[in-house]
Amino acid sequence: MEILAYGVQTDERPLLDAAFAGRHPLRMLDVFLTRDTAPLADGFPVVSSSVNDELDGVVLARLAAGGTKLVTQRSTGFNNIDLAAARDLGLTVARVSHYSPHAVAEHAWALALAVNRRLLRAASRTREFDFRLDGLLGRDVHGMTVGVIGTGKIGECFARIAHGFGTELLGWDVAPNPACRELGLQYVEKDELLERSDLVSLHVPLLPDTRHLIDAAALARMKDDAILVNSSRGGLVDSAALVETLRSGRLAGVGLDVYEEETGVFFTDRSVHGVADDVLARLMTFPHVLVTSHQAYFTRTAVGQIIAATVRNVEDFAAGRTGENTLVPAAGAAG
């Protein structure tokens, strides 16, 4: 069963090659799946997509017309896929239901620590042999109040690290996690969490109800010297409101691994032509804002698990089975 993988990163290639060797023919592309690139999948029964590919109704219809039967996405999130359209077209859709939560939680803490201790500015200075400490004053994490919005597997890992630092833990979620309570985390209303926390980290999925969860009103509730970290989905934060908050001199630091309009920008080289997104460009001018390119998941452990799950998705489809990763099953597939 031939597979075409879109949006493959350089470091993914040898791992994908090794995983599919002797199983199914695999072709890898570094371009993303869009309306323009969808025809490249003609004749491929399986398409493997990345989180920043476009899989709207038009793209899915083009894939189906070209003979694609299975779309298996190499991510947990699937808000970029029109599942209703896929179902109507008879396409099977699968994802990766889980992978190492430590990868994302550790990166979230890397962002938090970097902006707190002004590491980006410090590293830039010392490369030019400027060893002054002006403007580099940070805070002890020990003793901070840390707010965890979303206490699932990743949020729990983030909370465990926070507990190790010796912080007071607050949490907000629709379903409290007993393991987090055992760490001493106190569940409170979102507004109270925002008002009391010195550091707020987001670990919820992007749903209609969570879009712009952190909007102008939420940002106004945060402490002037609070730190905000988002390693989940860009749409959780109203980026324009965040820019206005920073322009007013509020927030001690912001760490973003995701951005609400990242599709077509993240995972690409824009060093020559820059970006046309004025909000993103403005965010990156603030010295206490650190933006990384959706790399929180990008560890050898997590990527290996994502690829292994992708192989299982293809094998399940070939055998007519469904599994925990199946979002839209094939007609007549066994459970």
Question: Which of these, 9, 101, 3, 56, lies nearest to 317 by C-alpha position?
Answer: 3
- Which residue in the block uniquely carries the two structure tokens 């597939």? 333
Q: CA–CA separation, 57 vs 65, rounded Å?
A: 12
Q: CA–CA separation, 118 vs 139, rounded Å?
A: 10
Marked catalytic residue, from 233, 260, 312, 321 = 233
Long-range contacts (CB closer than 8 Å, 24 or more residues apart) made by 58-63: 59/33, 59/34, 59/35, 60/85, 60/86, 60/89, 60/91, 61/85, 61/89, 62/35, 62/38, 63/38, 63/91
- Which residue in the block uniquely carries the two structure tokens 């017309």? 65
Question: Which of these, 247, 242, 246, 245, lies nearest to 258 by C-alpha position?
Answer: 242
Marked catalytic residue, from 54, 156, 260, 262 = 262
| CA torsion angle 237 240 261 290 (round to 10) | -70
Token pair recorded at residue 92: 């099977």
Question: Which of these, 56, 4, 60, lies nearest to 30 by C-alpha position?
Answer: 4
**CB-neighbour burial class of residue 14 (10 A; exposed 0-12, middle 13-18, buried 19+):** exposed
Annotation marks residue 233 as catalytic:
yes
Annotation marks residue 118 as catalytic:
no
Indicate which residues carry an active-site annotation. Answer: 233, 262
